[in-house]
C-alpha cells in the first residue's frame, strides 16, 4: 500500500457508534435478556476484515467507552473485548475461509468468552451471579452474525474501506 | 496482553480506589449525545401522547388531579403547624434535627444501562449542583443515591442494587436495622436480624438518618415476608420498596440545608411557604 488510498476510518467508528447506540436503546423488560452484544459483533467483524488496522487497542478503547456508557466498572468491557479481539486476530485467517455455519460457531465461542470474562469481573467486584439468562445474548448474537457479517461487508465494499 | 493488564489495572483502580471519576465524567460528556439520542424516541412519544390526548380524558385527569390537590393542600396546612410545633419542642430538647430540604426535580433518561446493575441515569448533573452521595426520592419513597456526577447527567444507584445498604428503622417501634439491596428490583433484605426481633409482615421501614446520607423519616419499604427457620442464626426478612423503582419518570433530588440556615428556614416556614421547589 504505497499511495495510501482513502482509509475511511470513520466507517469503523460509525459502525461502532451505531452498535453502542443499539446497546443502550430502551427495550421492554422481557427483551432485555435477548439484547445481543452489538459492540462485540461489530468488533469481531472489523478484526476479521481489517486485521492489520483494527485490533486490540481499538477493542480496548471501544470497551472503555462501552463501560462509561452502560455504567459498569471501568475496564470490564475493555478487558473482555480486547481478549476477544486478540483471539479473533489469532484465528482470522482460519475464520475467513470457514463456511458460514462453522464461522458462526466460532463466533459463538468468541461471544461466550466475552460474556465469561465479564462474569468474572462481576464476580470479582462483588456483584451477585446472574441467572442462566445471562448467556442468552450470545445465542441471539450468533443468530444475527450472518446478517451483521453481510451488512458490514457490503458496507465496507460499497464505501471502499481498506 | 498489555491491553488486558491495562484493563485489569483500570478495574482495580476504579473499583477499589475510585481514582478515575474525573476520567469517567470527561468521557461521559462524549457519550452524552448518544444517551440523549437513545432517549429521544421515548421523549417524543410522551410529547405526542400529550398532544394527541382526547379532551374528555384530559378533563377527567384534570378533575382527579384537582381533587388530589385539594386533599393534599388540606393535609399540608396541618403539616406545617405540626412541623413548627415539632421544631419548637425539639429546640426545647436541644436536639439537632434537619428540616427544610431543598428539592430539585430531575427526569430519568430512558436508556438501558447494564442490566445486571440497578442504576438509572438522570438528566441533571454537576451543572445543576448535584453532588456525590445525594439522596434521590420519588413521590412515594426513597429511590437511591447519586454515585456518579457528570457535567450534564448523573448516575443514581437504586436501593435494590446489590452494592447498596441503607440504614432504616421500623416505623412501628423504632427498631433500627439495615436494608440491603439484592440485585432484583422490588426486593430488599434485612440481614442480621435476630429471630426474636419485633418485625411483622406489613411493617413500614423508614430511613433512620444514621448513615448521614439520607434525611431521616422518609419511607423506604414494606416488609412482605419473614422466615424464621430453625438452624439458621438469623431471620430472613424480605421487604418491597415503596418507591416505584421501575416505573417512575421524575425523581426528586434533595439538598439538606446546613444548620446555619436552618433557623432562618424554620421561621420563614412557620409563617408562610411550602417546601421550596426549584423547577
| ipTM of the shown complex | 0.70
In this prediction, residue A151 has a pLDDT band, given cuts at 50, 70 and 90, of very high
A53 CB-near residues (< 8 Å, 6+ apart)? A7, A9
Say if CB B242 and CB B222 are below 8 A apart. yes
The pTM assigned to this predicted structure is 0.72
Question: Which residue of B lies nearest to A61 if distances are taken between CA atoms?
Answer: B3
Amino acid B274: pLDDT:
43
Give the closest residue to A36 by CA, choosing from A120, A111, A146, A123. Answer: A111
- Residue A40 reports pLDDT greater than 90: yes
Note whether A28 contacts B: Cβ–Cβ < 8 A. no
Give the DSSP H or E segment for B52: helix B21-52
B29 CB burial (10 A radius; 0-12, 13-18, 19+): middle
pLDDT band, very low/low/confident/very high, at A5 (cuts 50, 70, 90): low
3-state secondary structure of B166: strand
CA dist B112 to A29, A33, A134, B120, B158, Å? 10, 12, 16, 8, 14
Please say whether the beta carbons of A130 and A32 come within 8 A: no
Interface contact A79, partner B, CB < 8 A:
yes
CB count, 10 Å around CB of A91?
16
Closest CA to B111 of A77, A22, A40: A22
Contact check, Cβ <8 Å, A78/B114: no
Domain assignment of residue B93, yes or no? no
Q: For residue B278, give Cα distances in angstroms to B80, B106, B128.
A: 19, 10, 11
Contact indicator for A16, A39 with CB cutoff of 8 Å: yes
Name the average pLDDT for chain B: 79
Q: Which domain holds residue A137?
A: 36-159
Q: What residues make up the domain containing B211?
A: 1-52+101-256
Distance to chain B for A78, nearest Cα, Å: 6
Interchain contact A61–B (C-beta under 8 A): no
In a domain, B82, yes or no: no
**Which of B6, B117, B162 has its CB closest to that of A72?**
B117
Give the pLDDT of residue A85: 92
Report pLDDT for B94: 54
CB-based contact B17:B24 (threshold 8 Å): no
Q: How many domains does chain A have?
A: 1
B203 φ, ψ to 5°?
Answer: -65, 140
pLDDT at residue number A45: 92
Q: What is the pLDDT of residue A146?
A: 92
Q: What is the mean pLDDT of residues B108-117?
A: 78
Extract the runs of DSSP E, i.e. beta strands, from chain B: 102-107, 119-122, 135-137, 142-149, 154-158, 165-170, 176-181, 188-193, 204-207, 219-227, 235-241, 250-255, 277-278
Query: Per-residue pLDDT averaged across B29-52, rounded?
Result: 81
Query: How many CB pairs below 8 A link A and B?
Result: 112
Question: B30 contacts in A (CB within 8 Å)?
Answer: 65
* pLDDT tens for each residue of B127-148: 888 888 888 888 768 888 898 8
Which of B13, B28, B110 has its CB closest to that of A26? Answer: B110
The per-residue pLDDT for A108 is 93
Mean pLDDT computed over A60-87: 88
CATH assignment at residue B152? 2.40.10.340
> Measured between beta carbons, which residues in chain A are less than 8 angstroms from residue B155?
71
- The reported pLDDT for the residue numbered B152 is 83
Q: Is the pLDDT confidence value at A42 over 80?
A: yes
Asked if B10 and A68 come within 8 Å (Cβ–Cβ), the reply is no
B145 CB-near residues (< 8 Å, 6+ apart): B133, B134, B135, B136, B156, B157, B164, B213, B214
Chain A: residue nearest B150 by CA?
A68
The interaxial angle of helices A38-49 and A9-24, nearest 10 deg, is 160
User: Does B113 touch chain A if contact means CB atoms closer than 8 Å?
Assistant: yes
Most A-contacting residue of B23, B114, B117, B247 (CB-CB within 10 A), to test interface:
B114
Set of cell numbers at residue B219: 419511607
**Residue B101: predicted pLDDT:** 61
**Beta-ladder partners of B253:** B104, B136
Under DSSP, the state recorded for B215 is P
In a domain, B272, yes or no: no
Average pLDDT over residues B188-205: 88
Q: Give the mean pLDDT of B205-216.
A: 83
Q: How far is A21 from chain B (nearest CA, A)?
A: 6
The more confident residue out of B278 and B91 is B91
Q: From A131, which residue of chain B is nearest by alpha-carbon distance?
A: B116
Number of domains forming the structure of chain B = 1
Q: Does the pLDDT of residue A77 top 60, yes or no?
A: yes
Q: So what's the pLDDT on residue B272?
A: 43
Instruction: Please tell me which of the candidates B10, B38, B39 has its beta carbon nearest to residue A74.
Output: B10
Sole residue written with cell 421500623: B170
CA distances for B239 relative to B170, B190, B230, angstroms: 11, 8, 21
Q: How would residue A6 be classed by pLDDT, with cut points 50, 70 and 90?
A: low
Give yes or no for residue B110 having a pLDDT over 90.
Answer: no
The answer to whether residue A20 is domain-embedded is no
User: Quick one: pLDDT at residue B93?
Assistant: 62
Alpha helices in chain A (DSSP H): 9-24, 38-49, 56-70, 76-97, 100-124, 136-159
- Mutation target to probe the A interface, by most A beta carbons within 10 A, among B1, B2, B3, B186 is B3
Check whether B271 has a pLDDT greater than 50: no
Cα separation of B147 and B56, whole Å? 43
Residue B99 has pLDDT above 80, yes or no: no
Q: Is residue B89 part of a domain?
A: no
Up-side HSE of residue B68: CA atoms within 13 Å toward CB? 6
Buried-state track B84-94, b at ≥16 Cβ within 10 A, e below 16 = beebeeeeeee
- Chain A nearest CA to B77, separation (Å): 41
Least confident of A6-10, B22-26, B263-267: B263-267
Q: Worst-scoring range by mean pLDDT, A66-75, A141-150, B104-113?
A: B104-113
Q: Which of B140, B147, B104 is nearest to B124 (CA)?
A: B104
Confidence check: pLDDT of B88 > 80? no
A107 within a domain of the structure (yes/no): yes
Q: What was the pLDDT predicted at B266?
A: 46
Average pLDDT value over all residues in chain A:
86
pLDDT per residue over A90-139, tens digit each? 998 888 889 989 999 999 999 999 999 888 888 887 777 788 888 899 99
Contact B112 A27 (CB under 8 A): yes
Binary contact (B11, A76; C-beta < 8 A): yes
State the smallest CA–CA distance between residue A28 and chain B in angstroms.
10
pLDDT interval class at B257 (50, 70, 90): low
Answer whether residue A9 is part of any domain. Answer: no
Phi, psi values for residue B190, rounded to 5°: -110, 95
Euclidean distance between CA atoms A138 and A95, whole angstroms: 18
Amino acid at each position: 500500500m504505497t499511495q495510501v488510498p482513502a482509509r475511511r476510518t470513520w466507517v469503523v467508528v460509525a459502525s461502532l457508534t451505531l452498535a453502542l447506540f443499539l446497546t443502550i436503546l430502551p427495550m421492554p423488560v422481557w427483551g432485555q435478556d435477548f439484547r445481543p452484544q452489538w459492540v462485540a459483533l461489530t468488533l469481531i467483524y472489523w478484526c476479521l476484515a481489517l486485521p492489520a488496522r483494527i485490533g486490540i487497542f481499538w477493542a480496548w478503547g471501544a470497551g472503555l467507552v462501552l463501560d462509561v456508557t452502560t455504567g459498569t466498572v471501568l475496564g470490564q468491557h475493555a478487558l473482555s473485548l480486547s481478549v476477544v479481539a486478540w483471539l479473533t486476530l489469532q484465528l482470522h485467517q482460519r475464520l475467513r475461509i470457514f463456511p458460514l455455519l462453522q464461522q458462526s460457531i466460532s463466533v459463538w465461542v468468541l461471544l461466550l468468552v466475552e460474556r465469561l470474562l465479564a462474569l468474572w469481573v462481576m464476580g470479582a467486584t462483588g456483584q451477585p451471579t446472574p441467572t442462566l439468562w445471562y448467556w442468552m445474548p450470545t445465542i441471539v448474537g450468533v443468530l444475527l452474525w450472518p446478517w451483521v457479517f453481510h451488512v458490514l461487508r457490503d458496507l465496507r465494499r460499497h464505501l471502499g474501506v481498506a | 496482553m498489555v491491553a488486558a493488564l491495562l484493563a485489569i489495572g483500570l478495574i482495580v483502580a476504579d473499583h477499589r480506589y475510585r481514582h478515575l471519576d474525573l476520567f469517567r465524567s470527561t468521557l461521559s460528556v462524549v457519550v452524552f449525545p448518544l444517551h440523549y439520542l437513545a432517549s429521544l424516541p421515548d421523549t417524543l412519544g410522551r410529547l405526542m401522547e400529550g398532544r394527541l390526548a382526547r379532551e374528555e380524558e384530559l378533563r377527567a385527569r384534570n378533575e382527579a388531579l384537582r381533587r388530589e390537590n385539594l386533599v393534599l393542600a388540606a393535609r399540608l396546612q396541618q403539616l406545617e403547624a405540626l412541623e413548627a410545633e415539632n421544631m419548637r419542642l425539639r429546640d426545647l430538647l436541644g436536639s439537632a434535627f434537619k428540616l427544610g430540604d431543598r428539592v430539585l426535580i430531575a427526569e430519568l433518561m430512558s436508556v438501558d444501562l447494564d442490566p445486571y446493575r440497578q442504576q438509572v441515569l438522570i438528566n441533571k448533573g454537576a451543572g445543576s449542583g448535584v453532588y456525590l452521595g445525594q439522596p434521590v426520592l420519588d413521590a412515594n419513597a426513597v429511590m437511591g443515591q447519586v454515585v456518579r456526577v457528570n457535567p450534564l447527567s448523573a448516575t443514581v444507584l437504586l436501593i435494590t442494587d446489590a452494592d447498596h445498604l441503607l440504614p432504616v428503622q421500623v416505623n412501628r417501634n423504632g427498631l433500627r436495622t439495615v436494608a440491603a439491596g439484592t440485585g432484583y428490583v422490588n426486593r430488599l433484605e434485612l440481614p442480621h436480624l435476630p429471630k426474636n426481633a419485633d418485625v411483622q409482615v406489613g411493617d413500614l421501614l423508614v430511613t433512620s438518618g444514621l448513615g448521614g446520607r439520607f434525611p431521616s423519616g422518609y419511607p423506604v419499604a414494606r416488609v412482605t415476608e419473614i422466615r424464621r427457620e430453625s438452624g439458621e442464626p438469623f431471620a430472613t426478612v424480605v421487604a418491597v420498596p415503596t418507591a416505584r423503582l421501575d416505573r417512575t419518570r421524575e425523581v426528586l433530588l434533595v439538598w439538606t440545608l446546613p444548620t446555619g440556615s436552618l433557623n432562618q428556614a424554620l421561621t420563614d416556614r412557620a409563617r408562610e411557604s411550602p417546601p421550596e421547589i426549584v423547577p
